[in-house]
Amino acid sequence: MAAPTSYDSASSPSRLSADVVIHTTEMHTGGEPLRIIDSGYPTLVGDTILDKLRDARQNYDQFRTFFMSEPRGHRDMYGAILVEPDAPGADLAVLFTQNEGYGTMCGHAVIALSRYAVDRGIVKPMTPETQVNIQCPCGMVRAYVSCDENGKTGAVRFHSVPAFLFAEDIEVDVEGLGKLRVDISYGGAFYAFLDAAKIGLDVRTSKARDIVAAGAQITGALKAKIKLHHPDSNDLAFLSGTILTDGNDPFPNKPAAQVLVFADSQLDRCPCGSGVTARVALQYKKGFMHLGQRRIYESGTTKTKFTGTAIAETTAGEVDAVVVEVRGRAHYCGSNVFTLEEDDILKAGFLLH
Ligand SMILES: O=C(O)[C@H]1NCC[C@@H]1O
C-alpha cells in the first residue's frame, strides 16, 4: 500500500481556507507526541530541504499553527511534515514542527517515522531489520526498524549526523538563577546542558512547571550571549533548548536522566533522541564514555527510556565528532481529520501564555 503523503497532495489549498482538510497519523515515542501529516499540507518548493523549510516558514506557517495549536493541538504538540527528498538514497524527508516553529533534528520523530515508513509501505520490510534513510534538515539520519516474520515493526535504532561538544563551561548570568556554567553540545540540534542540582532542581521529582521556567530562562540568557556555528550551514546554528540533567555523567552503569525544555517553553516527555545524541558526544569527549558502551537515558518526566552508544569517531568540519546510536520505541495512538470553517476567527489556532 502506498502511503498518502504531503508531497503527493498537489491539489491541496495553498492558503488556510475552508477547503483545507488535513489527515494525520498520531504516534508517541516515550510519551512525546508525533502528529504526522498524511495529506492536505501544501506542496513545498525548493531545491534542498532547507529551502523547503524556508518556504514552509515564510509562506505556510498558518498551516503549522492550524494543526499544532489549540483547539486541534496544544503547546507541547510535535509534528512531522513529509516533503520530497533531495538527498540521494533518502527514503523520505521530513520537516519537524514545534510550538514556535521548526526543528533541525528530532530523534523521537525519527523513531516513530521509521515504523510509519515501513508500515505504510514507503520502505519494503526486511527481517530482522529494515533500514530507513530519513533526510532531516540537519542531514541524513539512518534508522533501523526491527521487523518480525509477520511483518510487525518494533524497536528502532538510528544513527544521526556527526555529534560534537561545541563549548564547555560557558559562564552565563541567568535572571533569578545567578551565574551558571553550562556546556553546549550538538546532536543534530544544539542544546545547553546543566546539572539540575546546581539550580536546586531534580529532573526526576521537581514540578514540570519549575523545570520549564528554569530551562526557558537559561536558553534565553544563552541566546543573548553566545553565537553558535555549524560547519554545514548557518541554518543549523541556533540553540534549540536546554537539557537539565541528573548530573550522572561519569557513572556509566547507572541510567542517566534528563529533561529538555525547547521552543517556546515546550517540555519533552521522552528522553529526547537528539539530546541523547548530544549528551553522548559530550560524555565521550569528556572521557566518561568509550566507543561501544551502551547507556540508558531516562526521561525525568515520564521515566521512559532510550539507549545511547558512541559507535564511531568522525569529524564535523574541523571538529572531532562521534556517530551515536540511539534506540527507542514508538507506538500508534490514533488518527485525525482536521477541518475548519471560514468564519472561525480562531482558524489558525492559538496558544495561551
Ligand atoms: O527526541 C528529540 O530529539 C526531540 N523530542 C522533542 C524535541 C526534540 O527534537
Does any ligand 1 atom lie closer than 6 A to the CB of residue 106?
yes
What pLDDT is attached to residue 11? 55
User: What pLDDT is stored for residue 1 in this prediction?
Assistant: 35
96 C-alpha to center of ligand 1: Å? Answer: 9
284: which 3 cell numbers?
A: 565521550
The confidence score (pLDDT) of residue 12 equals 63
- The residue contributing the CA closest to ligand 1 atom 9 is 106
Q: Residue 45 CB: number of other CB atoms within 10 A?
A: 12
pLDDT value for 265: 98
Q: Could you tell me the distance, in angstroms and rounded to a whole number, from the CA of residue 337 to the centre of ligand 1?
A: 25
The tens digit of pLDDT for each residue in 111-136 reads 999 999 999 999 999 999 999 999 99
> Which segments of the chain have a pLDDT < 70?
1-12, 251-252
- Distance of alpha carbon 161 from alpha carbon 154, whole angstroms: 23
- The atom number, within ligand 1, closest to the CA of 260 reads 7
108: Cβ below 6 Å to ligand 1? yes
**Is residue 272 within 6 Å of ligand 1 at its C-beta?**
yes
Q: Is 67 in the pocket of ligand 1 (CB under 6 A)?
A: no
Q: Which residues are known to be catalytic? A: 106
Which residue's alpha carbon is at the smallest distance from atom 6 of ligand 1?
268
Q: Of the candidates 66, 52, 102, which has an alpha carbon nearest to the alpha carbon of residue 264?
A: 102
Ligand 1 mean position, distance from CA 340 (Å): 29
Query: Which amino acid does the sequence have at 109?
Result: A
How crowded is the C-beta side of 257, counted as CA atoms within 13 Å?
A: 16
Using a 6 Å cutoff on CB, does residue 49 contact ligand 1?
no
Instruction: Give CA–CA dist 259/204, Å, rounded.
Output: 9
**Residue 272 CA, closest ligand 1 atom number:** 1
Q: Which atom of ligand 1 is the closest one to the Cα of 271?
A: 1
pLDDT of residue 14: 73
- DSSP for 60-86, written as a single string: -HHHHHHHHSBTTS-TT--EEEEE---
pLDDT tens sequence across 235-257: 999 999 999 999 999 866 789 99
Q: What is the pLDDT of residue 9?
A: 47
Would you say the CB of residue 324 lies under 6 angstroms from ligand 1?
no
